[in-house]
Amino acid sequence: MSKFAFEPLAIPAVVLIKPKKFGDARGYFLETYSVEAFAAAGIDAVFVQDNQSLSVTPGVVRGLHFQGPPAPQAKLIRVLKGAIFDVTVDIRVGSPSYGRWCATTLTAEGAEQLFVPRGFAHGFCTLEPNTEVVYKVDGPYAPETEGGIAWNDPDLAIDWPVAAAEAQLSGKDAALPGFAGFASPFRYEARP
């Protein structure tokens, strides 16, 4: 019996992963990662670093971020406490879904995870107070290669669960450029 269910989202390279919980009166146990199970599902990223964030209030928006070549990162995101509306945008030039976004809700209770491959911008909005998010990345942080796109860019038309006037962003995220004129460092490569 598989300990994970792998469900591609509207952009098939982005995968929602639902671990199986084993529970009893004491609580529950679950595996959050297995190199063998993930590889069998086509996820071959080798994760090298874990990151964690705490957002105190609902409506905190982090993103849309990416790390480009020569140090791109794939991510595996999960919520330890609270809930988020999680968004990915395909920024692989030549991709059939270039410039499109997909989203899902991740919750601590559901233990869902989201795999975001290289070549995607990623961001999320917190839905509950004191939301804690942890994510694995398959490359170390390289600030010289980081980039981003404005979270509320009208060309992307992401249906965020927070109004622009109520969203809480870092100064850095508030200054990210729009999608128009964006020169992506990623190219789409079809897999056999």
Question: Which residue in this structure is represented by tokens 């469900």?
Answer: 7
Q: How deeply is 183 buried, as exposed, middle or buried, from its count of CB atoms within 10 A (0-12, 13-18, 19+)?
A: exposed
The answer to whether 177 and 150 are in contact (CB under 8 A) is yes
135 is known as an active-site residue:
yes
For residue 138, the tally of other CB atoms under 10 A from its CB is 18
Question: Which residue in this structure is represented by tokens 């975001």?
Answer: 116
As a whole number of angstroms, the distance between CA 132 and CA 52 comes to 7
149-141-4-26 Cα dihedral, nearest 10 degrees: -110
The single residue of 33, 65, 98, 122 carrying the catalytic annotation is 65
The letter for the amino acid at 62 is R
The single residue of 122, 135, 141, 188 carrying the catalytic annotation is 135
Question: Which residue in this structure is represented by tokens 């992506």?
Answer: 184
CA distances from 173 to 64, 75, 154 (A): 8, 19, 16
Measuring CA to CA, which residue among 78, 180, 75 is closest to residue 120?
75
Give the residue numbers marked as catalytic.
65, 135
